[in-house]
Amino acid sequence: MKAKVTKQGVLIPKKFLNGAKEVEIRRKKNLILVVPSPTQDPIYKLGKNPVSTGLSDASENHDKYLYRGNE
């Protein structure tokens, strides 16, 4: 596909973006990349499904349990 470059730039057809709400535009030498951004940052999913460890103080002493084990 070819697109005409106007004063505003280039229009990318929405069907090429697969429903993306936001895109990141990167330039590498003569290459321009349009990369759809994730709809939600995966970091926000941390802690959604906690596990039971049987330790009453695991959140307070997590470093101890992670790095030295259950002493």
Taking Cα atoms as reference points, which of 1, 30, 4 lies closest to residue 16?
1
What pLDDT, on a 0 to 100 scale, did the predictor assign at position 71? 57
What digits encode the pLDDT tens for the residues 5-64?
A: 999 999 999 999 888 888 999 999 999 999 988 777 778 788 788 777 777 887 787 787
Dist. CA 65–CA 22, nearest whole Å? 40
What digits encode the pLDDT tens for the residues 13-23?
A: 999 988 888 89
Dist. CA 36–CA 24, nearest whole Å? 6
What pLDDT, on a 0 to 100 scale, did the predictor assign at position 70? 57
Residue 31, number of CB atoms within 10 A of its CB: 7
User: Model pTM?
Assistant: 0.47
Q: Hey, which residues does 34 pair with through a beta bridge?
A: 25
Element (H, E) at 24: strand 23-28
